[in-house]
Amino acid sequence: MYTPNKSIIDNDKIKLFTELRNILNDQPNHFDVATGYFNVGGFELVAQEIKGVKKFRLLLGHSPSVDDKLKPDLFEPITFYKMNLREDLENEEFTSKKSQAVKDLISFLEKQIVEVKLLEKPFLHGKAYIFDGLAIIGSSNFTYSGLAGNTELNAVLIDPHPVYVKKEWFDKFWEQARDFKQELTEILKSSKLGTKEYSPYEVYIKALYELQRKELEPTDTHTNENLPDSVVNLATFQEDAVNRIYSSLTNYNGVLVADSVGLGKTWIAKKVIEDFGFYRRRKFLVVCPAQLHRMWQAELKDLGVSENIIHQEYLGGEGLDYEDLEKRHQIKLSDISLIVIDESHNFRNPISNRYENLFSLIEKIRSYGKTPKVILMTATPMNNTVWDFYFQLMLIGQNNKRMFIKQGIFDLQKEFNKAQKGNTNHINDVLQSISIRRTRQYIRENYHDAKFKTETGEYIKIEFPDRKLEEVHYSLDKAYDGLYAEISRKIEADLTLAYYKLSEYNISEKKDLVKVQRGIALAGIFQTVLLKRLESSVEAFRKSVKSHMEFLTEFKSVVQKGKILRKKFFEKYINSLDESVEDIDDLGDFAKHLEDIDLKDYNKEKLFADLDRDIKVFSTIYNDIKNIDESQDAKLIKFKEHLLKNLKSEKAVIFSYYSDTVKYVAQALDNDADFKKKFGKKIAFVTGSNSSSERQGILEDFLNGKTNVIISTDILSEGQNLQRAKTVTNYDLHWNPVRMIQRAGRIDRIGSPFKEIIIYNFYPEDELESLLDLVQTLQKKIMMINDTIGLDASVLGEQINPKVFGIIRDLKSEEEETKDKTMELLEAEQFGGGELFFQPLKNFGLDKLPAFAQELPHGIQSGLKKGYRGVFFYLQYAGEYHFWYLYDLVHKDFKTNKTEILDFIACRQDEKRVVPEDIDVYQAYEEIKGRIADLFNETRFEVEMRTPSGKKEKFLIDMRDELEHIKTEVLFEEDVKGRAKIEEIVIKINEVNFTKKRLQYLRRSWNAFKKTHKSWRKLVAEIGDFLSDKVETPTEVIEEFNDKKLKLICVDYIS
């Protein structure tokens, strides 16, 4: 009989598993084990040898650790073993070898000769391995660590002691224990390495649930029993939004509430403000357009909280005076816990003052050691491009491109670059993480019984009015006295647009192709503006032609004196052309906006000849249209007919893009006594020139019935509740469909008294196609240049999306279905994405999810048919990072975008399970683990200055190096103060968040210095002053990757 050489086995020089193997090989008859714990690793060490035993008994107990505070009568060993065995199996390596070991263990346990029992009480302190005539007792559990790893103390006993241990100790506890064989086998079978067959639907729901588990946890709202109940009554879908808002605020310190217009975003935000401001007694700020001040003032008063409202216009100045802000609102910035930004799409331009000041305000609050929660509210987060959304997110993330690292997005900018190329799936993952985005159609389909509380306290089922689109046709050619075709030809072909292309006339140096292309783009933008104003109204176009003719005349005179407009003022002028001419600084006052040029560097003769040509073209156009009066304006005449025919008995809202058009129409209607007599209703007009109080008065008159019709610019298209109106009319073409959605949302709202609302769109019947073709050609040219050299947002202004041309045509379709579908798609395109992950769980039943998920251990596997060969893996890191990978078995590549992957795993509850047998799932898994490790390590070792792009800006590095050179090579060692100043600047350069506007300023200073290299003192002074009030925010540290923290959640075979 084999007997160990040593009487003590401590896993040092002699391993317990080695001795067990030897004993089992020598006497494979009876083997009894009493252990405080058991795992697959322990079985693996003796798997081959234990298969030969004729009878095996496993007694499981529990030995309390130092941390256990449970008394034996309170301890539940069944719960302990089920929970810990399951967790151990979840943490096991996902390898072919380990999978086979589990299957071998299952087969072994299913043998008749194997028995397993669990001792429920008392605690089992001793461990024993008992054979015929031999026993090993001591501290080693039947685990990998107990048999091979830990420092243990085990004694070898030989006859007669083993007989005593077996009969007097083991058998006694065996009789007291309960059978546990079936439960242990089921735990093993159910594991990721087991044999249980899960359905693809179970994998689908588990993947979604684990991804959103924290969002689905009950909201931790703080209420005070001594305070009154909430005054904010929400519909079910709004309550769901609030729960998800808190999850996002916890995970990202911010959220985007982007429900479609009219779904009550204000009330959702109001509920959160009530919790923060009233129940928790925390300070908050509301940032909104000035025209929404009274609305927010009333809502905050209703809550009984302070009215801390900042106008977006207040943030539009140069710099922000924090002391003034604190005095205005009697609030300390260090106390701010919440910032609500209404109509946040107005902060999409990172070059604007309002963006820079809001970014700095949030940054300043963070510098006090408290990160404020930020709620962005907008129905249209993407007005022009995906970058609109990106820069709003950067207000929350403060230029941290890794803000979604826990969703597996290590570089946010890269995802937006991909989205810019057309695949918006790449930002839908971001939307899923941080946004609430529902449309009317979504609410109709998923919240059938949703109700809202009326002002009288009655709960009424939410019913949305149907939308009906109608066209009003007019002749653009008649509006221009038969000259439309000739005018549009001159705009397209006759203008040289010399001023916009000045670099083409420079003969002193090799042409800078970037500047040349930029000039061509600017010219195209100007032509586009002219065509848009041409369609809007005779007066808007007439003003543009006259003002530009005067501008060119004045410009020519200053160029002849060797002067030129500064770039900044010129860009301001370009952008203002797409608004109202009156919004521009006095066009004749160039003096303070000029800089010198040397006319010798330019082909003067050609430049002046081309300027004269353009002046002549504008003069000709102006002379042709200057005498077209209201009685000849075919569009205006058609508008009057529309008012009398369609709007005489309805409250109505009419929108135009241009204030010049609104004022022109207002004057024309007021001048027409016959029309006023026939119409007999009061009409009000609103533009940006109206004060906030004037606008409020007009709205109140409209709502209380004193006014029937409002004609306005888009200043009323945001945030206003005008649902007492039944119709909206778009007087000019909707070059930005987002604005049309906003406009319709003024009347299409929860609580509308109408079953149907009507949207009227004006179309130039015979000239539409030629106009669209002209604008589309110009836009293609601009976008091609933008794709090649990149144009600043300050130059591009409000872009025309390429899809617009098809949208305009579809909305004019004679097919009602096409028009309705277009509106639906428009809304879905603006709002779709975020609910794809939440809705399947809601359909399943949110209340049933926790119990359902509890039955599904991590690592479960299934498969389904999708006409694709791949494997889906969901892994979590440290319980917080979520990685979805779809391995393409054909192209040997990976998809990582969750929105895209969702299509492959989505299925019905009755989906058939299909798992191919020819897939090496373990090799694919190892590759994914390697990729995740690489992502962590690459990110961790990045040394970068945080900029909007997340990259090092070369000029900043050059500037920093130059300052270091000045400090060490130029300044004397005795100049301690000067050296310290430079050192302070260098630190700031490394640690400050560089927004686009900050980079713009520094780049200008650096370029000025590079021209001479003589004014380093001025450079140091300028940069030092500029950075002095900027907050230092050290780059976050990314932890070193630890594969022990990586856990497989589920696997789906796609075939």
* The pLDDT of residue 116: 97
State how far the Cα of 806 lies from the Cα of 976, in Å rounded to an integer: 66
How much is the average pLDDT of 244-261?
90
Pick from 581, 596, 625: which residue ends a domain? 625
Average pLDDT in the chain: 86
CB contact set of 1018 (below 8 Å; sequence gap of 6+): 1009
Query: What pLDDT, in 10s, does the model give residues 880-935?
Result: 999 999 999 999 999 999 989 999 999 999 999 999 988 899 999 999 999 999 98
Shared-domain flag, residues 746 and 826: yes
Q: What's the CATH number where 303 sits?
A: 3.40.50.10810
Shared-domain flag, residues 616 and 683: no
How much is the average pLDDT of 801-826?
72
Shared-domain flag, residues 372 and 521: no
Q: What's the CATH number where 178 sits?
A: 3.30.870.10
Pick from 607, 625, 643: which residue ends a domain? 625
* 181-195, 278-292, 780-794: the lowest-pLDDT one: 780-794
* The pLDDT of residue 1012: 67
* The pLDDT of residue 833: 46
Shared-domain flag, residues 324 and 338: yes
Q: What's the CATH number where 652 sits?
A: 3.40.50.300
Pick from 128, 159, 190: which residue ends a domain? 190
Decide if 520 is inside a domain: yes
* 47-56, 660-669, 832-841, 862-871: the lowest-pLDDT one: 832-841
Q: Which two tokens stand for residue 746?
A: 């003024």
- Kindly report the pTM of this predicted structure: 0.81
Confidence of residue 70 (pLDDT cuts 50, 70, 90): very low
SS3 labels along 585-649:
CCCCCCHHHEEECCHHHECHHHHHHHHHHHHHHHHHHHHHHCCCCCCCCHHHHHHHHHHHHHCCC
Confidence of residue 703 (pLDDT cuts 50, 70, 90): confident
The whole domain housing 351 covers 235-439
Decide if 910 is inside a domain: no
* The pLDDT of residue 943: 44
Decide if 681 is inside a domain: yes
Confidence of residue 589 (pLDDT cuts 50, 70, 90): low
* Mean pLDDT comparison of 385-399, 419-433, 519-533, highest-scoring range: 385-399
Confidence of residue 49 (pLDDT cuts 50, 70, 90): very high
Shared-domain flag, residues 248 and 178: no
Decide if 556 is inside a domain: yes
Q: Kindly tell me if the per-residue pLDDT of 374 is higher than 60.
A: yes
| Strand 709-712 versus strand 683-686 pairing type | parallel
Shared-domain flag, residues 650 and 744: yes
Q: Kindly tell me if the per-residue pLDDT of 592 is higher than 80.
A: no
Shared-domain flag, residues 112 and 52: yes
> What percentage of the chain reaches a pLDDT higher than 70?
90
Name the one residue in this structure whose structure tokens are 């007997």: 3
State how far the Cα of 632 lies from the Cα of 247, in Å rounded to an integer: 60
3-class secondary structure, 569? helix
| Strand 178-179 versus strand 134-138 pairing type | unpaired
* The pLDDT of residue 784: 67
Is residue 969 within a helix (H) or strand (E), and if so which, with residue range? none
* The pLDDT of residue 675: 93
Decide if 81 is inside a domain: yes
State how far the Cα of 309 lies from the Cα of 286, in Å rounded to an integer: 5
SS3 labels along 61-108:
CCCCCCCCCCCCCCCCHHHHHHHHHHHHHHHCCCCHHHHHHHHHHHHH
* The pLDDT of residue 581: 36
Q: Kindly tell me if the per-residue pLDDT of 572 is higher than 70.
A: no
Is residue 335 within a helix (H) or strand (E), and if so which, with residue range? none
How much is the average pLDDT of 820-841?
69
Distances from the Cα of 211 to the Cα of 227, 407, 883, 902, 906, angstroms: 36, 9, 9, 12, 14
Number of folded domains in the chain?
5
Shared-domain flag, residues 636 and 598: no
Confidence of residue 452 (pLDDT cuts 50, 70, 90): confident
* Degrees, nearest 5: CA angle 1039-1041-1047: 115
Angle 425-434/386-397 helices, nearest 10 degrees? 40
Q: What is the DSSP string of 815-833?
A: -HHHHHHHHHHHHHHHH-S
Q: Kindly tell me if the per-residue pLDDT of 131 is higher than 90.
A: yes
Looking from the CA of 480 toward its CB, the CA atoms found within 13 Å total: 27
* Degrees, nearest 5: CA angle 304-308-313: 140
Shared-domain flag, residues 365 and 493: no
Phi, psi of 89 (to 5 degrees): -65, -35
Q: Kindly tell me if the per-residue pLDDT of 364 is higher than 90.
A: yes
Query: What pLDDT, in 10s, does the model give residues 729-781?
Result: 999 987 877 777 778 888 887 778 888 889 998 999 888 888 878 777 777 76
Query: What pLDDT, in 10s, does the model give residues 177-230?
Result: 999 999 999 999 999 999 999 999 999 999 999 999 888 877 665 556 677 888
Shared-domain flag, residues 683 and 811: yes
Shared-domain flag, residues 643 and 619: no
Contact 81, 36 (CB under 8 A): no
Decide if 844 is inside a domain: no
3-class secondary structure, 857? coil
Decide if 359 is inside a domain: yes
Decide if 919 is inside a domain: no
> What percentage of the chain reaches a pLDDT higher than 90?
47
Shared-domain flag, residues 276 and 418: yes
Contact 56, 50 (CB under 8 A): yes
* The pLDDT of residue 574: 61
**Which of 1000, 1051, 1053 shows the shortest CA–CA distance to 1026?**
1000
CB atoms within 10 A of CB 159: 12
Q: Kindly tell me if the per-residue pLDDT of 234 is higher than 50.
A: yes
CB atoms within 10 A of CB 864: 24
